């Protein structure tokens, strides 16, 4: 019978108002960011570390993240080339792309006209000897050879002003050196089977939907031609592909989990009302956790959000305990009051565990602490003060007939049961010594992208001659000129290695835009008009060129001697802006520049050289190693905090309970369960990562909760069975949800799913067997 309680009392009213308020606030203010530097250490290795963070940020949000590598393959080479050209044209017309390159060169003269007059300031390695009579004659005879080869038609556009082809050489130097081979005017792979394109998507910030639209456009553009096969790769497609994969997996998983858990709850409670109410604490927990985190930090990180919500899954356990203890004779209020002390202790200890993450250098972890603690407290508060009024009396859990048959201790001492789990756990612990690689070192193993797709990416990147992302130098300065000068000095030093064949090519922003100082130096090398005129006259002797024809050349060189050097701002207005921006960009009050190396023949030798040349070496960043070490630090920090959390929890429990023996009895099964969960995974060949560790906190929290409920003083066998029922239903729902995650095939989710499902199973069995 449901008593005629008022459905809305003060707590319910407050809860509704707060929840509505939270929805309103979140609707207006929730800022979810995916800025990677949030999850990087805030302080630490000083200035260089800061620029590395800015660079990682750029990788994620800047031009680099918007690059697509595209391969086109059709029945014949000629058709492949034709489709490459058509795809390029369609892509540019769609407006979804900023640049599309397929090897076709655009010789629309007007595009570069603005830059043409700066050619003597831009061209690298130009010296005064290039204007000697001898060198000029060499250049002119080469032009004659070009004319004889039929190039005169094109050459005559610039011949009069630029007989040395200075501007063309400058542009050609900027084009990728390890350019893919061309067939029918477009880039082809080395095996001449596929045409290659390089595109930059027209996307602002981190807009996955826009990226998705662009990628879908490429996939669909030639869909009506069945003979055309298009492969898309590159950083820009990664984010979209992983999101697609995660969305796909989570759609199936959440439907499956919901159905299974609903069935479980129906089996346990046989009441629609209870099944509806069981979700309220969780919904409240997530809403308030988002609200408080956003209010404290001004934003919530995407990773915090996803991982935090997963961790808050434990909140389902609170109403489950509550509902399992419902009895015919008692009102819901009486029931919740009865289990409140245990519930309270369970929530406080779990929260303490998460609080250990507060105040780390990793903002992400701090956010996670606030998020989970707020969530846990909200869930338990809703269970305690909001739900009872809506239940009244008359509900009772369905205790299955086999439940009393589970091995459980009737009270008193049982020396036998604890021994087996202890032995098992010791065996599991040995896995840590038995396995030589316990920790996952390879960050890419965490990527949801299948290894095959990563292989494709590597292949296309190499074919397109894209620089090796593993060897680069990151430099930063508020002053663009100072930064450009520093790049020039580093490049000059690196050229020694280039001469030795240790590195193939150096890509630097100064190839496109030299520093003002460099431009001034080049200006000073230009010969005075009278000298040049004399040299040119000498050079032209005996050649069939009309001498007066080269008047523009004389004028331009003379004008260049007093030309104001080209600025960054000016360059950013030219067709070369995109190319400059990929290596030189403004971020958070600084200019950041990347110097990239290609064709590193011996990485070890390079690193040794850099160690002995700290002036260059201090800017060096091996991206693979750097992310690896950041992940390492992260894991170390998390591990430390977890140990601290465990100590705080233990201390708190011992003090609250006031008995070493009883406290140890509660803690021991949980500790053993954690060891078992990790040990089993290690024996199965899993390498541990950060997400395994963070999941352990959830396991420990749940385990303590079970242990406390088993250990609580009960009145009679019936109530003990009810506690067991609650724990069992809670464990079953957790194992269902996380067990499904373990099947998702997405590395991070598998890590969380495995650890929690195995851990909770171990917790359930061990706390059942060992509880006092």
Partner 1 sequence: MIIGTMNKQKKRLGWLLFFFLLPAGQQLYAAVAADFERIMHEIAASRKKTAFFVEKKVAFYLDEPLISKGKLYYEYPDKLEKTLVSPVSEKQIIHGDEIKILKQDGSEEHVYTSDHPGIQSVVSAFLALLSGDADRLRAMYAVSSFKQNGGWRLELEPADENIKKWIKHIEVKGKKGKILSIKVIEFNDDYTLTTLYDHEE
Minimum CB separation of residue 150 from partner 1 in Å reads 6
Phi-psi region of 126 (alpha: psi -120 to 50; beta: other; left: phi over 0): beta
Q: Is 105 in the site for partner 1 (CB under 8 A)?
A: yes
Diameter over CA atoms, the chain: 119
Q: Is 182 in the site for partner 1 (CB under 8 A)?
A: yes
Q: Is 400 in the site for partner 1 (CB under 8 A)?
A: no
Stretch that binds partner 1, among 27-35, 135-143, 197-205, 481-489 (CB under 8 A): 135-143
| Residue ranges in 75-104 that form contacts with partner 1 under rule CB under 8 A | 104
Closest by alpha carbon to 366, among 378, 376, 354, 348?
354
The DSSP result for 656-712, as a single string, is HH--HHHHHHHHHHHHHHHHHHHHHHHHTTPPB-HHHHHHHHHHHHHHHHHHHHHHS
Q: Is 223 in the site for partner 1 (CB under 8 A)?
A: no
Select 553 or 691, whichever has its Cβ closest to partner 1. 553
Select 263 or 543, whichever has its Cβ closest to partner 1. 543
Q: Estimate to the nearest angstrom the gap between the alpha carbon of 743 and the chain centroid.
A: 22
Q: Is 74 in the site for partner 1 (CB under 8 A)?
A: no
Minimum CB separation of residue 576 from partner 1 in Å reads 18
Select 183 or 202, whichever has its Cβ closest to partner 1. 183
Select 81 or 289, whichever has its Cβ closest to partner 1. 81
Q: How many chain residues bind partner 1 (CB under 8 A)?
A: 30
Enumerate the β-bridge partners of residue 195: 72, 188
Minimum CB separation of residue 185 from partner 1 in Å reads 2
Q: Is 661 in the site for partner 1 (CB under 8 A)?
A: no
Cβ distance 274 to 729 under 8 Å?
no
Q: Is 385 in the site for partner 1 (CB under 8 A)?
A: no
Q: Is 659 in the site for partner 1 (CB under 8 A)?
A: no
Q: Is 145 in the site for partner 1 (CB under 8 A)?
A: yes
Q: Residue 101 has which token pair?
A: 């390159």
Residue 470's contacts (CB-CB under 8 Å, 6 or more residues apart) are 600, 603, 622, 623, 624
362 three-class SS: strand
Select 24 or 175, whichever has its Cβ closest to partner 1. 175
Question: Which helix H or strand E contains 449, and what residues bound it?
Answer: none
Select 552 or 617, whichever has its Cβ closest to partner 1. 552
Question: Which helix H or strand E contains 181, and what residues bound it?
Answer: strand 181-183
Considering only 10, 153, 223, 660, the residue that binds partner 1 (CB under 8 A) is 153
Residue 641's contacts (CB-CB under 8 Å, 6 or more residues apart) are 356, 357, 360, 365
How would you class 13 by CB atoms within 10 Å of its CB: exposed for 0-12, middle for 13-18, buried for 19 or more? Answer: exposed
| Residue ranges in 528-567 that form contacts with partner 1 under rule CB under 8 A | 544-547, 549
Q: Is 168 in the site for partner 1 (CB under 8 A)?
A: no
Q: Is 423 in the site for partner 1 (CB under 8 A)?
A: no
Select 163 or 421, whichever has its Cβ closest to partner 1. 163
Stretch that binds partner 1, among 20-28, 114-122, 153-161, 357-365 (CB under 8 A): 153-161
Cβ neighbours, 10 Å, residue 281 = 28
How far is the CA of 394 from the CAs of 273, 318, 418, 474, 716, in angstroms?
A: 12, 20, 39, 69, 20
Q: Residue 33 has which token pair?
A: 């960011």
> With the C-alpha atoms ordered 675, 678, 682, 683, is the resulting torsion angle positive or negative?
positive
Cβ distance 323 to 343 under 8 Å?
no
Minimum CB separation of residue 81 from partner 1 in Å reads 8
Considering only 146, 477, 602, 632, the residue that binds partner 1 (CB under 8 A) is 146
Minimum CB separation of residue 755 from partner 1 in Å reads 57
Question: Which helix H or strand E contains 19, and what residues bound it?
Answer: helix 10-29
Stretch that binds partner 1, among 56-64, 149-157, 389-397, 417-425 (CB under 8 A): 149-157
Considering only 186, 518, 600, 732, the residue that binds partner 1 (CB under 8 A) is 186
Select 156 or 251, whichever has its Cβ closest to partner 1. 156
| Site for partner 1, rule CB under 8 A | 104-105, 107, 138, 141-142, 144-154, 156, 159-160, 182-186, 544-547, 549
């Amino acid at each position: 019978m449901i008593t005629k309680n008022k459905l809305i009392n003060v707590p319910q009213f407050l809860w509704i108002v707060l929840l509505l308020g939270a929805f309103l606030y979140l609707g207006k203010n929730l800022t979810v960011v995916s800025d990677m530097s949030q999850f990087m250490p805030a302080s630490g290795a000083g200035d260089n570390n800061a620029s590395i963070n800015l660079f990682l940020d750029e990788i994620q949000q800047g031009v680099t993240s918007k690059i697509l590598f595209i391969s086109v393959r059709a029945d014949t080479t000629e058709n492949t080339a034709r489709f490459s050209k058509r795809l390029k044209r369609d892509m540019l017309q769609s407006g979804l792309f900023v640049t599309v390159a397929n090897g076709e060169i655009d010789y629309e003269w007007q595009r570069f006209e603005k830059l043409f007059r700066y050619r003597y300031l831009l061209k690298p390695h130009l010296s005064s000897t290039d204007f000697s009579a001898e060198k000029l004659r060499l250049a002119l005879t080469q032009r004659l050879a070009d004319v004889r080869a039929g190039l005169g038609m094109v050459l005559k556009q610039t011949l009069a002003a630029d007989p040395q082809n200075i501007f063309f050489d400058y542009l050609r130097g900027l084009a990728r050196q390890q350019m893919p081979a061309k067939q029918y005017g477009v880039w082809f792979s080395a095996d001449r089977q596929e045409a290659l394109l390089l595109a930059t998507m027209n996307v602002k910030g981190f807009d996955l939907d826009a990226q998705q639209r662009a990628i879908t456009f490429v996939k669909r553009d030639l869909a009506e031609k069945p003979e055309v096969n298009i492969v898309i790769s590159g950083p820009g497609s990664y984010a979209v592909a992983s999101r697609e994969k995660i969305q796909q997996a989570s759609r199936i998983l959440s439907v499956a989990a919901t159905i299974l858990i609903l069935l479980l709850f129906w089996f346990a409670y046989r009441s629609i009302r209870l099944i509806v109410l069981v979700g309220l604490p969780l919904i409240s927990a997530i809403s308030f956790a988002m609200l408080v985190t956003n209010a404290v930090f001004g934003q919530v990180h995407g990773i915090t959000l996803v991982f935090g919500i997963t961790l808050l899954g434990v909140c389902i356990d609170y109403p489950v305990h509550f509902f399992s203890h419902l009895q015919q004779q008692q009102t819901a209020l009486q029931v919740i009051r009865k289990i409140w002390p245990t519930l309270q202790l369970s929530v406080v200890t779990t929260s303490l565990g998460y609080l250990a993450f507060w105040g780390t250098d990793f903002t992400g972890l701090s956010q996670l602490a606030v998020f989970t603690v707020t969530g846990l407290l909200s869930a338990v508060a809703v269970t305690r003060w909001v739900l009872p009024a809506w239940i009244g009396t008359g509900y009772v859990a369905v205790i299955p007939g086999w439940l009393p048959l589970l091995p459980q201790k009737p009270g008193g001492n049982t020396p036998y049961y604890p021994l087996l789990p202890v032995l098992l756990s010791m065996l599991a612990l040995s896995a840590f010594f038995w396995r030589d690689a316990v920790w996952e070192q390879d960050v890419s193993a965490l990527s949801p992208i299948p290894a095959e797709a990563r292989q494709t990416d590597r292949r296309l990147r190499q074919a397109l001659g894209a620089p090796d992302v593993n060897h680069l130098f990151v430099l930063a300065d508020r002053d663009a000129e100072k930064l450009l000068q520093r790049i020039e000095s580093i490049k000059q030093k690196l050229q020694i290695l280039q001469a030795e064949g240790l590195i193939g090519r150096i890509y630097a922003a100064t190839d496109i835009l030299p520093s003002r100082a460099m431009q001034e130096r080049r200006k000073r090398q230009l010969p005075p008009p009278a000298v040049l005129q004399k040299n040119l006259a000498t050079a032209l002797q005996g050649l069939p060129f009309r001498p007066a024809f080269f008047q523009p050349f004389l004028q331009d060189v003379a004008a260049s001697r007093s030309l104001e050097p080209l600025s960054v701002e000016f360059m950013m207005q030219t067709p070369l802006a995109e190319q400059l921006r990929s290596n030189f960009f403004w971020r958070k009050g600084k200019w950041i520049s990347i110097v990239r190396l290609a064709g590193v023949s011996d990485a070890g030798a390079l690193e040794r050289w850099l160690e002995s040349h700290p002036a260059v070496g201090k800017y060096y960043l091996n991206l693979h190693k750097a992310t690896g070490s950041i992940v390492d630090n992260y894991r170390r920090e998390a591990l430390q905090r977890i140990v601290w959390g465990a100590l705080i929890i233990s201390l708190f429990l011992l003090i609250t309970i006031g008995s070493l023996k009883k406290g140890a009895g509660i803690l021991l099964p949980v500790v053993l369960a954690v060891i078992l969960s990790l040990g089993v995974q290690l024996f199965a060949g899993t390498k541990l990562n950060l997400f395994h560790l963070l999941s352990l906190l959830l396991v420990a929290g749940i385990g303590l909760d079970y242990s406390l409920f088993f250990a609580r003083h009960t009145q009679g066998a019936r109530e003990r069975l009810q506690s067991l029922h609650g724990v069992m239903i809670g464990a079953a729902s957790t194992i269902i949800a996380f067990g499904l995650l373990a099947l998702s095939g997405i590395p991070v989710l598998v890590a969380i799913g495995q650890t929690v499902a195995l851990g909770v199973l171990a917790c359930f069995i061990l706390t059942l067997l060992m509880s006092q």
